[in-house]
Structure 1
């Protein structure tokens, strides 16, 4: 009889242990957040997108892969709270390099005008830009840093070939004075090249017309007695 009681007691004890274990496991599983909920919480806290999620065998953590512009990260999160237990970058992204069009736009924002020449060496793009006032600048853009590294005015002797010719300057002077252009000299004035055109007027008088050699605009007209 005693043996039977002992056997029943042992079986009851084992059953109780099993029931407790089941309850503990059930309670543990009930406390665990869903994969979707954890992903939502992590993405709300960190820039980027979760591309892969797996739950650990003991159901206590989630292993996730996060990708953003800075790289790829391996994240281990608590399954109950979604708190980040560890976060390691496993792959760094190379900084994006500007396109030539983007670099040109950046150069024009610094020096508004017309691009006359463009060269590209390594990661630096160099632009020769002529402003409306005829002044010319050399603008260098670091395409990787996405920044203008220099914007220097080019002296008159180093400026590129003028966009108007001597004959065009004479034509402009004749149009402005209704006279006949005699001679045209190209001179530097205030860092800008100027055509000085001598014009014979119908009344046997003369005039000197100063014309911006880059824009073709008349800067000044001096009438002589």
Structure 2
């Protein structure tokens, strides 16, 4: 009987030892685990975006999180003790907003003030040919997705010859300056510069000749005739 009691006591002691060890292990694991707040703080400091949901695994070893940023929604599994990311997967992609043509043109003119002579659009890049008041011409490229000017290069003098204002634009400028009706416009070269000479019919049977810089659209001279 003493042997039976002794065996039972040994078994009970063994069970108690297992329980105590298990408790200590669980307690140690719990003590080593970071709080949700600490893990979120570390993740948000390391990755762009905001953690919108956090859950801890049953074994307390990991945190599952949802991170949202302008690029999409991500599922993150992080180590509960160190906050190291164990896995990160994008579960939803966001459609990036892009600039409108008006907004892109505003950016281009902000970099190179002047008159837009030509505009093209390929893929996500808008290209503007802009003529400054001094006659210089620039090619400005705007990334409509990145919302930024990616280049602004001056076009050589030889290339500038290809982009004068049109005859109709010259006539419109002359009419605006004189208040008359443009009759004809001739393109001539004067002192190395292309000039439009526009004949304008004024009220009371009068006439005027308006000289306009063909590159800048600036009025160089107006001669009124009786």
Q: Which moved more, 1:68-77 or 1:188-197?
A: 188-197
- Give the TM-score normalised by structure 1: 0.65
Give the C-alpha shift of residue 134 in structure 1.
Answer: 4.7
CA gap of 1:120–1:45, structure 2 versus 1, over 3 A, is closer
Distance 1:184 1:71 in 2: 57
Cα contact 2:75–2:90 (8 A) shared by 1: yes
- Aligned partner of 1:40 in structure 2 is 41
Structure 1 unaligned segments of length 5 or more: list them. Answer: 173-182, 198-207
- Aligned partner of 1:51 in structure 2 is 52
Establish whether residue 159 from structure 1 lines up as the match of residue 164 from structure 2.
yes
- Give the TM-score normalised by structure 2: 0.64
Aligned-partner SS, 2:10: helix
Give the C-alpha shift of residue 61 in structure 1.
Answer: 1.2
Distance 1:167 1:74 in 2: 60
Structure 2 unaligned segments of length 5 or more: list them. Answer: 179-183, 199-208
Per-residue displacement from partner, 1:154-199 (whole Å, max 9, x unpaired)? 6556533254439949x88xxxxxxxxxx985314588532469xx
Distance 1:108 1:116 in 2: 12
CA gap of 1:73–1:95, structure 2 versus 1, over 3 A, is same
The structure 1 segments of at least 4 consecutive aligned residues displaced by more than 4 Å after TM superposition are 91-96, 116-122, 134-140, 148-158, 189-192, 208-211
Distance 2:88 2:118 in 1: 46
Cα contact 1:124–1:141 (8 A) shared by 2: yes
- Aligned partner of 1:215 in structure 2 is 218
Q: Which structure has the larger Rg over C-alpha atoms?
A: 1
Distance 1:10 1:215 in 2: 105
Distance 2:192 2:127 in 1: 21
